[in-house]
Structures are given as C-alpha cells and as structure tokens.
C-alpha cells in the first residue's frame, strides 16, 4: 500500500508541475495579447521582420478546404469521430456486465495558408506551427441502428468495427476557421512579408490564430489560467498527502 501511495503522490506532483508549466505559458500569451498593439495590413510596411504583430480582419481564400463533417469552406478544421459502445463480458453463468465506453475511430486535422483582409489590404498568413483557436461547428451524437459488427464512413473512408460489443452510436465533433469570417492573428512578420511563427527556440513570442475576437480570446485565456491554478493546487495537495501517508505507513512497518 505504501508503494501505491508513493507512486500516486509522485504522479499527482507531476500533474501539478504540468499545470504550472501550462499556466505560465497561458499567462505569457495573455501578456502578449495585452501588450502588442493592433496594426493594419498597410502599417506592416513600417514594421521590421521578426517583429510581433497583431492583426484583425476577414479570412479570404480562393481554394479553401472543405471541413470533413459539416462540409463548410474553411482554412483549418479538426474533426474527431468517437464510437460509443457497450462491451459484454460473460461471467460463466449466462449473465454479463455492461459498461458504456468510447474509442476514437477517426481524427483529421488540416490547415492551409490564407489571406487576412482588412480595410487597408491583404496579407498572407501561413498557419503551420500556429496555435489555432477554432470555433466549434458541430458536437452531435448519432445513434447506431445497424448490426453489432458494422462500419461507418468518415471523410469518404469506410471504417469497420468488430462484433464483440454493442455499438450505441457515434459522437462527431468539429472545429474550424471558416472562410469569409472574422479572424484574429498574433504572429511574427516574416522576411517575405507574410505572417508566421517566431524563430525556433523563441520563448517570448507566440503564433496564435483565433476565430474569436480579441476580447473573447482574452476572457477564455483568463478562465483557463484560473482553472490551471486550481488544478495545480489540488494536485500538489493530494500529492503531498499521499507521499506523507506513504512515509507514515513505511515507518509504521519498521517498528
């Protein structure tokens, strides 16, 4: 028991450390969003390559992607399909115990370069390596009425699943950055005049693309930072308690 408590304590402390790391990163992003003044596309001509810039405009793209689930024109999408099922395990007496479970059967993420357009012009944004805050387009559960062993088509690809469980249905979730919709970009001006990521190894700059307004994004970042602080505090307290309990049990076994 002491070993289990010790391992649990170490795991809780590790989770707390990860929460602290993510909290610091989130606060740094909040600081950048507040510190960097927005500029127009025309004003980029007065900025130096390597400088952090903040832009607000509309997404434009001549040959956009088509999102996998909703079929909307976009420049980024992330779709996930999860199967929810009930496995059956016999106990040798004809009865069975069933517990609802889920498994991810499909996940797809795509992104392409696009134009950010404001009242003064357009600039190319290369979203590769960017943190993308996309809007949720769909989150629905589709009941499955087929046979236990069957298949589902996702993105034109048929995915088969086994017959040793009862499929309840499929949950489909999709986020995207849509064409002709507002976009917020916090990135670095590149040598070729496009907006992209900071140099590799940079700790003081970010590349963020959001389908929400700056105000919405800031509120979400603050909320996230509070949750991370709470999670870190709980993890450290639980970890300390479990390690203390493990130490007490170990000492008790010695005497």
pLDDT digits over 132-147, tens only?
A: 999 999 999 988 876 5
Question: How many domains does the structure of the chain reveal?
Answer: 1
What one-character DSSP code corresponds to residue 46?
A: G
Q: Give the pLDDT confidence score for residue 172 in this predicted structure.
A: 94
Smallest CA-to-CA distance from 122 within 36, 198, 58, 197 is with 58
Q: How far is CA 23 from CA 19, 28, 29, 219, 225, in A?
A: 6, 9, 10, 15, 5
pLDDT digits over 195-212, tens only?
A: 999 888 776 677 999 998
- Kindly state the average pLDDT of the residues 58-77: 96
Smallest CA-to-CA distance from 86 within 97, 71, 101 is with 101
Tell me the pairing of strands 114-118 and 182-189.
unpaired
Smallest CA-to-CA distance from 212 within 164, 175, 249 is with 175
- Predicted TM-score (pTM) of this structure: 0.73
Q: Which residues contact 71 (CB under 8 A, 6 or more apart)?
A: none
Tell whether the torsion through CA atoms of 52, 53, 58 and 60 is positive or negative: negative
Alpha-carbon 185 to chain mean position: 17
Distance, CA of 160 to CA of 150 (rounded, Å)? 6
Alpha-carbon 97 to chain mean position: 34
Q: Give the pLDDT confidence score for residue 92 in this predicted structure.
A: 45
Q: Which run of H or E residues covers position 133?
A: strand 131-133
Residues for the chain: how many in total? 255
Q: Give the pLDDT confidence score for residue 245 in this predicted structure.
A: 79
Q: Give the pLDDT confidence score for residue 204 in this predicted structure.
A: 60
Average pLDDT, the chain: 83
- Kindly state the average pLDDT of the residues 204-227: 79
Distance, CA of 110 to CA of 213 (rounded, Å)? 22
User: In which domain, by residue range, is 188 found?
Assistant: 2-254
What one-character DSSP code corresponds to residue 67?
A: -
Q: What is the DSSP string of 188-210?
A: EE-TTS-EEPPPTT-SS---EEE
Instruction: Supply the CATH number for residue 8's domain.
Output: 2.40.50.140
Tell whether the torsion through CA atoms of 156, 158, 159 and 161 is positive or negative: positive
């Amino acid at each position: 028991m002491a070993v289990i408590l010790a391992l649990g304590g170490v795991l809780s402390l590790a989770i707390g450390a990860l929460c602290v790391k993510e909290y610091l990163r989130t606060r740094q992003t909040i600081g950048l969003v507040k510190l960097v003044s927005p500029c127009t596309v025309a004003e980029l001509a007065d900025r130096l390559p390597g400088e952090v810039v903040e832009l607000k405009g509309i997404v434009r793209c001549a040959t956009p992607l088509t999102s996998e689930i909703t079929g909307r024109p976009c420049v980024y999408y992330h779709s996930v399909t999860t199967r929810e099922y009930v496995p059956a395990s016999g106990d040798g007496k004809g009865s069975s115990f069933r517990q609802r479970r889920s498994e991810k059967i499909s996940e797809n993420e795509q992104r392409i370069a696009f134009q950010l357009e404001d009242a003064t012009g357009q600039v190319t944004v290369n979203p590769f390596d960017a943190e993308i805050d996309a809007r949720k387009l769909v989150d629905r559960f589709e009941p499955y009425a087929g046979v236990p062993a069957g298949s589902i088509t996702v993105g034109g690809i048929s995915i088969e699943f086994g017959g040793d469980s009862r499929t309840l249905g499929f949950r489909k979730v999709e986020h995207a950055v849509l064409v002709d919709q507002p976009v917020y970009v916090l990135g670095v001006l590149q040598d070729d005049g496009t907006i992209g990521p900071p140099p590799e190894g940079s700790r003081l700059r970010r590349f963020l693309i959001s389908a929400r307004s700056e105000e919405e994004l800031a509120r979400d970042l603050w909320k996230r930072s509070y949750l991370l602080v709470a999670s870190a505090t709980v993890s450290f307290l639980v970890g300390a308690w479990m390690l203390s309990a493990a130490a007490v049990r170990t000492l008790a076994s010695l005497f």
